[in-house]
Amino acid sequence: MPDMQKKYKEEVRPSLQAKLGYKNVMQIPKIQKIVISTGMNSAVERDAFGEAQKQISLITGQMPVVTKARKNVANFKLRVGMNSGVMVTLRGSRMFEFMDRFIHNALPRVRDFRGIPKKGFDGSGNYNVGLQDITVFTEVDPDKLKYPLGLNITFVTTAGTNEEAYQLLKMMEIPFAE
């Protein structure tokens, strides 16, 4: 069992239940999944998608899928069916292992890091954070990286409100800016 999963079960869950006053353990917020995605310009390079897939699979330990455009966008020269990005969904132990590496290894390597902003909540208990550079992950070799790549990381929780999700993520050691 990953350390973060053990921390959730032994420390975070009982503390959240007491803090939020839930009687049933099924009401306690938990992290359902983590979605890691990146959007790319398909007109730039064809092999950029393969490179992005390779780098994200190194980071997550799971092969990502190439996403396709659902509708035409003239300003971006995008047509239906063209490749538009790469994404992967993590659940279970892989999710907790990625979360541990993200919090304890990658975030401290971000230049001028002062915490992640609190404004990434979407109103229904999910949190989004963006990284401008993937070289903060130790799995990525900056010398072999051909194209600059950023990531969007979404923490999908069962929390009903932003405040519950904030309490959950704060207890899971995510360093929010004060």
Q: Where along the chain do its domains lie?
A: 3-171
Tell me the pLDDT band of 43, cut-offs 50, 70 and 90: low
Tell me the pLDDT band of 16, cut-offs 50, 70 and 90: very high
**What's the mean pLDDT in 136-142?**
84
CATH of the structural domain 3-171, one choice from 3.90.228.20, 3.30.70.270, 3.90.1300.10, 3.30.1440.10: 3.30.1440.10
Tell me the pLDDT band of 109, cut-offs 50, 70 and 90: confident
- Give the chain's mean pLDDT: 87
> Rounded to the nearest 5°, which phi and psi values hold at 52?
-65, -40
- Quote the pTM value: 0.88
**What's the mean pLDDT in 65-77?**
84
Query: DSSP labels for 28-76?
Result: S--EEEEEEEEE--TTT-TTHHHHHHHHHHHHHSS--EEEE-SS-BGGG
- pLDDT for the residue numbered 45: 65
**What's the mean pLDDT in 49-63?**
88
- pLDDT for the residue numbered 44: 61
Q: How far apart are CA 156 and CA 161, in angstroms?
A: 12
Q: Is the pLDDT of residue 97 over 80?
A: yes
**What's the mean pLDDT in 93-118?**
89
Query: Which residue, among 87, 84, 90, 89, has the nearest Cα to 53 in the 3D structure?
Result: 87
% of the chain at pLDDT higher than 90: 38
Map residue 87 onto helix, strand or coil: strand
**What's the mean pLDDT in 121-137?**
89
- pLDDT for the residue numbered 73: 82
Q: Are 32 and 50 in contact (CB under 8 A)?
A: no
- pLDDT for the residue numbered 173: 87
